[in-house]
Amino acid sequence: PGLKNQIAAGEVVERPSSVVKELVENSLDAGATRVDVTVEQGGRGLIVVQDNGRGIAAAQLELAVTRHATSKLRTFEDLSAIASFGFRGEALPSIASVSRFTMISREQGAADAAFIEVRGGEVAGRRIAALAAGTRVEVRELFANTPARLKFLKAESTENKRCQDTLMRIALAHPGCGFSLTVNGREVFRLPADQDLATRLRTFWPPSACEGLGPFDFERLGYRAHGVAGSPAMAQSRGDRILLYVNGRPVQDKLMLGAVRQAYKGMLLSREYPQAVLFLELPRDEVDVNVHPAKLEVRFIEESRVFSTIRGGIVQALAVLTD
């Protein structure tokens, strides 16, 4: 079982930031309103994700770290109506197969928490433990048993930054949940629950990038684009401040990026990029978010509708900003 999970881990768990992503998405799936993340040594030393979600029953804990033990997919029909982030039950067993993994969880209403430790995919210990309601996952020695993967990791500071970016992307899409990130013992950010998008952005972007942001909310034929977009006068030479989401998930998508740029056509110089955070919402059966296990890429059925909805949204923001 260990080897099979290690192979799957290569798909799901490319680097420390993939671990952060999978664990935080699990916390959100569990209804958490508070998620605290700790990263040490670029994630190779330690990754901790603690939440106040509904927890896992003690009897289910071992199953949760076993291959394909998802609680989120019950029937075949669910496949086309995936409401939660996870639906394959691969993340925890994959992570546990390439690390020293512990999980402690207390189901809401339960008297005790349960603890399980997995090393290289094998259960190495379990006991009753203490924890406030919620779940705490600790991942140590990531990739220590897969030297090939270890070799692909970048400098510690780069991996730290990727973990930070990953959590930032998720936090922007979940304003109702509070988040914190601590790297090497230093608190990088702490976001209270129920902040609006503009307030959250100010934690992540410098003031100059937050100036001249206009909100938009555009709907057409069941597709909706909402978020904030920057005035062309505030355009910058860096392109990493265009953050795209589909149905709440961070994505990287050329079609969507093209639609954003199209809306600014004629307003930007060739090497200038606007700022934008754009959430596209569309019927779940008109988008395939499972092209790759890391779930960053998407495929759309109605590409022209995606394009025109996004362009419509940005144009709406620009109409106000350039007025």
Name the site residues for ligand ADP (rule: CB under 6 A): 22, 26-27, 29-30, 51, 53, 55-56, 64, 69-72, 86-92, 135
From the list ligand ADP, Mg ion, none, which binds 274 (C-beta under 5 to 8 Å, kind-based)? none
Q: What character string, x for contact with Mg ion (CB under 5 A) and - otherwise, covers 18-57? A: --------x-------------------------------
Distance in Å, CB of 71 to Mg ion, minimum? 10
Can residue 91 be called a binding residue for Mg ion (CB under 5 A)?
yes
Please name which of 241, 244, 257 lies closest in space to residue 201, comparing C-alpha atoms: 241
| CB of 118 vs ligand ADP, minimal distance in Å | 12
d(CA 68, CA 91): 9
Question: Is the CB of residue 123 less than 8 Å from the CB of residue 116?
Answer: yes
Q: By C-beta, is 116 or 229 nearer to ligand ADP?
A: 116
What is the number of the residue whose Cβ is closest to ligand ADP? 86
DSSP state of 292: S
Minimum distance from CB of 92 to Mg ion (Å)?
7
Residue 173 CB, nearest approach to Mg ion (Å): 16
Coil, helix or strand at residue 244:
strand
What is the sign, positive or negative, of the torsion defined by CA atoms of 299, 302, 303, 309? negative
Q: Rounded to 5 degrees, what are φ and ψ at 204?
A: -105, -30
State the nearest-atom distance from the C-beta of 134 to ligand ADP, in Å.
7
Interacting residues of 53 by C-beta distance below 8 A, sequence separation 6+: 27, 28, 29, 30, 31, 32, 134, 135
Positions touching Mg ion (CB under 5 A) are 26, 86, 91
